[in-house]
A and B are shown apart, each in its own frame.
Chain A
Amino acid sequence: MGKALTAFEKIWNKHVVKEEEGKPALLYIDQHLVHEVTSPQAFEGLRLNGRKVRRPDLTFATMDHNVPTINRENMKDEISIKQMEALKKNCADFGVKLADMYHPDQGIVHVIGPQLGLTQPGKTIVCGDSHTSTHGAFGAFAFGIGTSEVEHVLATQTIWQDKPKTLNVKVIGDLGTGVTAKDLILAIIAKFGVRFGTGYVMEYTGEAIRKLTMEERMTICNMSIEAGARAGLISPDETTVEFLRGREMVPKGEAFDALAEEWLALATDEDAEYDHTVTIHADEIEPQVSWGTNPGMCVPVSAATPVIKDAEYPEEVERALKYMDLNENQPITSIEVDHVFIGSCTNSRLSDLKKASKIVEGKKVKEGIKAIVVPGSFLVKQQAEEIGLDKIFIDAGFEWRNSGCSMCLGMNDDIVPAGGRCASTSNRNFEGRQGNGARTHLVSPEMAAAAAIEGHFVDVRQFVGVPS
């Protein structure tokens, strides 16, 4: 028997091309995901140096950040059009498979990777996007990279990496009714801060994590970057295997069963040691609402905004409250919103939309609120429509859009105006993130849906319509 290892260590060991004491290791990359915003300069770099894409077969591109969610056929923004055309040309020139904005596989890159089965346990996965941590939900080592590194991976299919340390985030107990994976990850970041993961791969362990569906696990791993982590990870198990069975890009039949065996063997060994461990009690967690300008500035819905003088960093709290136009010690349920966004790589999958639809079914969005639902992919949209979710949302007064990153970062026209306030299922509440001067409150899809109906934040557990 060798040394007990964490899942991350097992994956790392299988991908080292070259390693020397005191230097970063050269790591092989199994899957490179590409989108229109962080890739044009990388392809241009290849061209200038006469280099090619080493493994186009391990590279997959889509358009998501910049794509309109309505009137896609009549794009007006010349610079955006140029960016899309650049990706199209780059993919054609270098032989990379592209799901462009009219393709049935199009969607947010972190939604379509798992959906197609490109995301698999044991893989090393990179993308020029920080939320690549999402794919760690499958027991992959997945992390965001910059454009220079995108170019490096395109040219060499490898990346130089300092080996991250391991952090065990142990979740004890069960989540209560109406408390979601989103609330859990927000509570973790609120408790431990926006930089506690820096230099680590965060592995989420414990009973509560094992009970989560793959879509819930993706929500958790997605926001690992908001704690500063290099990557998030959950050991593969039967839930992982069953999610991937039958997906387009995974083998079929006996080959799948053999692969599944390998995947399950990647799970962290029982006696494996982590560099650091933190624990959190799931049963103590309430639905969360962020009040400030980073994802750690988050409290339970029953609480109030902080009192400035009692805060650890009073200046930061004061500046955030000022930007958010909130008072100190203001009850969260008194905060009124004028925008509701259900979407993003954190919460735009079919189960997210189903849960939100349960809250709004038969009700009406409060007058004066602009509420939009942006499914994570073409396929999610189609599947939602097959079971009538579009109708439920539209009847309630939501707009039903096409897939993309949309109002999470407002690169397209889906922007919250200055002074606007949004209940958002996305991942970042930074100043100006959803639009210059816009104010963002991060919540679960259920909480966003309830805020759309009531016009202010409410504890979704007391909201009429919650299934018992």
Chain B
Amino acid sequence: MEPFKEHKGIAVPLNRGNVDTDQIIPKQFLKRIERTGFGEFLFFHWRFDDDGNLRDEFVLNQPKYENATILLAGDNFGCGSSREHAPWALEDYGFKVIIAPDFADIFYNNSLKNGILVIKMNEEQVQQWMKKAEQGLTLDVDLEKQEITDTDGTVVSFDIPPYHKEKLLNGWDDIALTLLEEDAIQAFEEKRA
């Protein structure tokens, strides 16, 4: 995993609550056995109509958000199915940061495992940024300092569990870390046997 230290990018507002992973990546794309290439299927039925044409009204299809890398989302984002194809699709599409009042917890974990910085931020602030994003908003997210600086220079701090922060900053592989605990795991197994 690439270390995540700081990211500056255009924010796109997806102002809906309870966006489920079936919307983020529909089931017909879960048959692939690879981990890559899911970006083109992101929000598939919201981005494309039944004939495969872009739906102009969907926010991701608006030219001003074409290069957006920060997703502003509603409450309980990523609820439903545990499919990790959802963060794979978001990451492959180009998203580095997702900011929402709250996330579904499997999705939250899955995102962190893929180097996406998921930030829980109070609803008022998210709504304020969503409004600003309609006119164009660039956010500078500094994980080390746990600060987000918006276009006006306003600085907002955010929380993240220290454990997740450390892993993201270093790009650590979870499994390699756990394998350092081999003695403890073995001792546990022996004690129970």
Are A156 and B22 interface neighbours, CB within 8 A? no
Determine which of B17, B110, B184 lies in contact with A316 in the assembled complex, contact meaning CB atoms within 8 Å. B17
- Name the residue in B20, B23, B31, B178 with the highest tally of chain A Cβ atoms < 10 Å from its Cβ: B31
Q: Which residues of A contact B174 (CB under 8 A)?
A: 148, 152, 160
Please name all residues of chain A whose beta carbon is closer than 8 Å to the beta carbon of B76 when the two chains form the complex.
194-195, 198, 228
* Contact across chains for A195 and B185 when beta carbons are under 8 A apart: no
How far apart are the CA atoms of A46 and B79 in the complex, in Å?
A: 28
Given contacts A228-B104, A409-B27, contact A41 B33 (CB under 8 A): yes
Q: How far is the CB of B15 from chain A (nearest CB, A)?
A: 9
Residues of chain B lying within 8 A (CB to CB) of residue A80: 31
* A421 CB-CB contact with B under 8 Å: no
How close is B174's CB to chain A, nearest CB, in angstroms? Answer: 6
User: How far, in whole Å, are A65 and B45 apart by their CA atoms in the complex?
Assistant: 21
Query: What residues of B have a CB within 8 angstroms of the CB of A145 in the complex?
Result: 82, 106, 109
Which residues does chain B contribute within 8 Å of A17, judged by CB atoms? 181, 184-185, 188
One of A41, A156, A226 near B178 (C-beta < 8 A): A156
Mark the stretch among A94-102, A103-111, A428-436 that contacts chain B. Answer: A428-436
Give the CA-CA distance A51 to B175 in the complex, in Å: 10
Contact B18 A194 (CB under 8 A): yes
Partner-binding segment picked from A21-29, A354-362, A376-384, A388-396:
A21-29
- Say yes or no for B50: interface residue by CB 8 A criterion: yes
Q: Which of B16, B113, B184 contacts A18 (CB 8 A)?
A: B184
Assuming A41-B33, A156-B178, A437-B50, is B110 touching A148 (CB within 8 A)? Answer: yes
List A271-330 residues whose CB lies under 8 Å from chain B: 294, 313, 316, 319
Q: Tell me if B153 is interfacial: C-beta within 8 Å of chain A.
A: no
Select B30's contact among A24, A49, A162, A411, beta carbons within 8 Å: A411
- Across the interface, which residues of A come within 8 angstroms of B32, CB to CB? 79, 83
B154 at interface (Cβ–Cβ under 8 A)? Answer: no
In angstroms, how far is the closest chain B Cβ from the Cβ of A320?
A: 10
Interface residue B162 (Cβ < 8 Å from any Cβ of A)? yes
In the complex, chain B residues whose CB is within 8 Å of the CB of A225: 80
| B35 part of interface (Cβ distance < 8 Å) | yes
Q: Contacting A436 at CB < 8 Å: which of B26, B102, B113, B163? A: B26
> In whole angstroms, what is the CA distance A436 to B41 when docked?
14
Per-position 1/0 for A165-209, Cβ under 8 A of B: 000000000000000000000000000001100110000000000
Encode B71-83 as 1/0 by CB contact (under 8 A) with A: 0000110011111
Given contacts A17-B188, A130-B82, A160-B174, contact A148 B30 (CB under 8 A): no
- Name the distance in Å between A290's Cβ and chain B's nearest Cβ: 14
Residue of B nearest to A161 (CB): B109
Q: Which residue among A194, A316, A319 has the maximum number of chain B CB atoms within 10 Å of its CB?
A: A194
- Interface check A86, CB cutoff 8 A: yes
Pair A44/B18 contact, Cβ less than 8 Å: no
CB proximity of A442 to chain B, nearest CB, Å: 13
Contacts A23-B163, A155-B179, A195-B79 known; A149 to B22 CB distance under 8 Å?
A: no
Contact with A along B86-114 (1 / 0, CB 8 A): 01000000000000001011100110011
A62 within 8 A of B: no
Closest B residue to A436 by beta carbon equals B45
Q: Measured between C-beta atoms, what is the minimum distance from B134 to chain A in Å?
A: 16
A89-134, CB < 8 A from B: 128-130
Provide the residues of chain B in CB contact with A158, threshold 8 Å.
178, 181, 185
User: A82 and B104: CB pair below 8 A?
Assistant: no
Cβ of A420 under 8 Å from chain B: no
Residues of A within 8 A of B16 (CB): 316, 319
A:37-79 near B, CB below 8 Å? 37-38, 40-41, 44-45, 49, 51, 65-66, 77, 79
Specify the chain B residue showing the minimal Cβ separation from A431: B23
The distance in angstroms between the C-alpha atoms of A436 and B51, with both chains bound, is: 12
From A44, A155, A410, B27 is in contact (CB under 8 Å) with A410
Residues facing B in A220-258 (CB within 8 A) are 225-226, 228, 230
In the bound complex, CA of A285 to CA of B150 (Å): 49
Is the C-beta of B140 less than 8 angstroms from some C-beta in chain A?
Answer: no
Nearest-CB distance from A306 to chain B (Å)? 16
Q: Which residues of A contact B110 (CB under 8 A)?
A: 146-149
Q: Which of A37, A198, A319 contacts B104 (CB 8 A)?
A: A198
Residues of chain A contacted by B87 (CB below 8 angstroms): 146
A157 within 8 A of B: yes
Docked-complex contact B102 and A432, CB < 8 angstroms: no
A38 to B82, Cβ gap below 8 A?
yes
Taken together as a complex, chains A and B put the C-alpha atoms of A126 and B79 apart, in Å, by 18
Cβ of B28 within 8 Å of any chain A Cβ, yes or no, is: yes
A-side contacts of B142, CB under 8 Å = none
7 closest Cβ contacts across the A-B interface?
Answer: A146-B110, A40-B33, A146-B84, A148-B113, A144-B82, A147-B84, A130-B82
> Would you mind naming 15 contact pairs between A and B with Cβ atoms under 8 Å apart?
A24-B163, A26-B184, A28-B185, A38-B82, A44-B35, A77-B31, A83-B31, A149-B110, A152-B175, A156-B181, A230-B105, A294-B18, A316-B16, A409-B27, A428-B81
Residues in chain B within 8 A of chain A (CB atoms): 16-18, 20, 22-23, 26-28, 30-35, 45, 50, 75-76, 79-84, 87, 102, 104-106, 109-110, 113-114, 161-163, 174-175, 178-179, 181, 184-185, 188-189
Which residues from chain A sit less than 8 Å from chain B, CB to CB? Answer: 17-18, 22-24, 26, 28, 37-38, 40-41, 44-45, 49, 51, 65-66, 77, 79-80, 82-83, 86, 128-130, 144-149, 151-152, 155-158, 160, 162, 194-195, 198-199, 225-226, 228, 230, 294, 313, 316, 319, 409-411, 418, 428, 430-433, 436-437
